[in-house]
Amino acid sequence: MKLIVQVPCYNEEKTLPAVINSIPTQIPGVDVIETMIIDDGSKDGTIMIAEMLGVDHIVRHKQNEGLAASFADGLDECLKHGADIIVNTDGDNQYPQQEIGRLIEPILRGTHDMVIGDRQVQTIEHFSPLKKFLQRFGTGVVQTLSGVVIADAPSGFRAYSREAALSINVISTFSYTIETIIQAGMMRIAIAELAIATNPKTRESRLFKSMFAHVRKSMMTMLRIYIMYSPFKVFLWLGLILLALGLLPFIRMVYLSIVYHALASGHIQSLIFGASLLIIGFLNLCLGIIADLLAINRTLIEETLYRMKKLEYSRSIK
């Protein structure tokens, strides 16, 4: 059983030693433990520090590509190096690496393929009330969309089995955390959670410039991934709502004509508006059918990609 702990990094020379040095060297049930950093175009001495610390694998980005790209490239490299379990942690030492043994227990037992570290956000002192509220609200939305009961959707302290890592395809350019949960829920990947205590804050987040930007990008990611996996449901409900609204002016016209004997010519504008809504609603239903066919095609492509990756990575570790 081989475990690789990957650490996406961007200018983390000050905190990387604490991260690497706190990674367990022995875990019951694991034969080999290796470390990997994904350097996302750092301008400081992150790579030099990683080499001094004896990091087993170093993935280099020539320029900053973002956290999602770093995470995805890390998964790819871990699979190429034969990882049976992949743990992701952050380079700012936010997460307790010493808990990795507990984090991977459900995977070792074979009961789950993905485990998320629950930071128990409501207990973190340096998180503002607004940030705690937004985290709770965002996690609730992710639960609704994915059907997965979780407490801390944005947590980056995670463990993946090899099968889960092979199945997941990151397309977001912002953050992988929300996207992978929704994907896992749609793919029926078994997810567990582990309550953890975070380390003291070392720096401000570099993922977003403002709270508003974070919320906006997170909501766009949720919507995009959900539509990708459930397009017919989205367009069906949107089409039905528009059709219902489009019928209202016609119902109103019939009511006025019967009760007040009003002339239909006095309601031309509302009838045109209603007809427009009916047309748009019908087009949404048509789009839903087309999008559903595309989603079926996407599922087949994902299955093909899974088999290709499994074959490619099995060859690379021979």
Most confident of 62-76, 101-115, 118-132, 142-156: 101-115
The mean predicted confidence, pLDDT, of the chain is: 87
Hey, is 258 helix, strand or coil? helix
Does residue 25 have a pLDDT over 80? Answer: yes
Where does the pLDDT of residue 223 fall: very low under 50, low under 70, confident under 90, or very high at 90 and above?
Answer: confident
User: Where does the pLDDT of residue 296 fall: very low under 50, low under 70, confident under 90, or very high at 90 and above?
Assistant: confident
Distance from C-alpha of 205 to C-alpha of 217, rounded to nearest angstrom: 15
- Residue-wise pLDDT for 251-280, tens only, equals 877 777 777 665 555 567 778 888 999 999
Most confident of the following: 47-61, 135-149, 196-210: 47-61
- CA-nearest of 195, 191, 158 to 175 is 158
Query: 162 is written with which tokens?
Result: 């090899």
Beta bridge partners of residue 57, listed in sequence order: 36
Give pLDDT, residue 133: 82
> Do 64 and 11 form a contact (C-beta atoms < 8 A)?
no
Per-residue confidence at 250, pLDDT binned at 50, 70, 90? confident
Render 95-152 in DSSP notation, one character per residue: S-GGGHHHHTHHHHHTS-SEEEEE--GGG-TTS-HHHHHHHHHHHHHHHHHH----S-
Lowest mean pLDDT of 65-69, 138-142, 171-175, 242-246, name the range. Answer: 171-175
Query: What whole-number distance in Å separates Cα of residue 1 and Cα of residue 108?
Result: 9
Residue 95 confidence (pLDDT) above 90:
yes
Could you tell me the pLDDT band of residue 317, with boundaries at 50, 70 and 90? low
Q: Which residue has the higher pLDDT, 174 or 228?
A: 228
**Local structure of residue 267 (DSSP, 8 states):** G
Q: Confidence band (pLDDT; 50, 70, 90) for 211? A: low
Q: Is the pLDDT of residue 67 over 70?
A: yes
pLDDT number for residue 210:
63
Q: Which of 32, 35, 42 is nearest to 21 (CA)?
A: 35
Give percent of the chain above pLDDT 90. 50
* pLDDT tens digits for range 152-197: 888 999 999 999 999 988 887 777 888 899 889 888 999 999 999 9
Are the beta carbons of 11 and 103 closer than 8 angstroms? no
Q: Give the pLDDT score at 266.
A: 57
What's the pLDDT score for residue 209?
61
Residue 239 has pLDDT above 90, yes or no: yes
Instruction: Tell me the mean pLDDT in the region 227-231.
Output: 85
**Secondary structure (3-state) at 73:** helix
The string of DSSP letters for 145-209 reads HH----S-TT---EEEEHHHHHH-----SS-HHHHHHHHHHHTT--EEEEE--PPPP-S--SS-S
* Order of strands, sheet of 85-88, starting from the edge strand that comes earlier in the sequence: 57-61, 32-40, 2-9, 85-88, 158-161, 114-118, 191-195
The stretch 47-68 carries a mean pLDDT of 92
Q: Which residue from 27, 156, 17, 18 is spatially nearest to 4, judged by alpha carbons?
A: 27
Percent of the chain topping pLDDT 70: 93
Instruction: For residues 143 and 123, give the distance between their C-alpha atoms in angstroms, rounded to a whole number.
Output: 21
What tokens appear for 47 in the block?
């790579």
Tokens of 74: 């890390």
- Pairing relation of β-strands 158-161 and 85-88? antiparallel
